[in-house]
Amino acid sequence: MHNHVKKILITQDQIIEKTKEIAQQINEDFKGERITLVALLSGSVPFLAELMKHIKLDCEIDFMDVSSYRGTKSTGEVRILKDLTRPIDSCNVIIVEDIVDTGKTLNVVKGILENRDPKALKIVTLLDKPEGREVDCYADYVGFSIPNEFVIGFGLDYDELYRNLPYVGVLREECYM
């Protein structure tokens, strides 16, 4: 375990197992259809990589980059840093997110993508922090509900570090700058 990690919340094995289950559900829900996975950079990349391995449908991937966080607090302000490369009208779109906290980021992204007339628009998130919710927002597929703690690993960073950890853990307080 990394010495900046106070405790491991979710192991790599647990993440892989749960991600397989979610992929199976998506395979059933969109049977016979083509889907587009829209991953929000950069935190959702490891989750996307795990998820897409188990998707049996025709599947495109695209990326969007929005910024909402500085340090450990949501600013509530969402800026688009990189948009999708292709149109999504008439597509079955699934937004792939690492974590839903206040819900502000996903609400904004969902609104933007809804305006582009997809055939379906769903949300899959690896982690959900329901206690952090400030706006009405829910994901259609959720890996794990976790307590209201700042977590790192499996894509999640603190000031761009720790994304490469293969598990989800809680950062030691003394590591916050």
As a whole number of angstroms, the distance between CA 118 and CA 121 comes to: 6
Does the protein bind ligand 5GP through residue 128 (CB under 6 A)? no
Task: Reply yes or no on whether 101 is catalytic.
Answer: yes
Q: Which x/- pattern, by CB under 6 A, does the window 64-103 give for ligand 5GP?
A: ----xx----x----------------------xxxxxxx
| Nearest alpha carbon to residue 108 among 95, 98, 119 | 95
Instruction: Report, in Å, the least distance between residue 123 CB and ligand 5GP.
Output: 11
18 vs 110, beta carbon nearer ligand 5GP = 110
Does the protein bind ligand 5GP through residue 51 (CB under 6 A)? no
| Nearest alpha carbon to residue 26 among 108, 93, 106 | 93
Among 151, 165, 167, 169, contact with ligand 5GP (rule: CB under 6 A): 151
Instruction: Report, in Å, the least distance between residue 94 CB and ligand 5GP.
Output: 15
As a whole number of angstroms, the distance between CA 122 and CA 140 comes to: 6
Distances (CA, A) of 69 to 76, 102, 107, 177: 8, 11, 15, 15
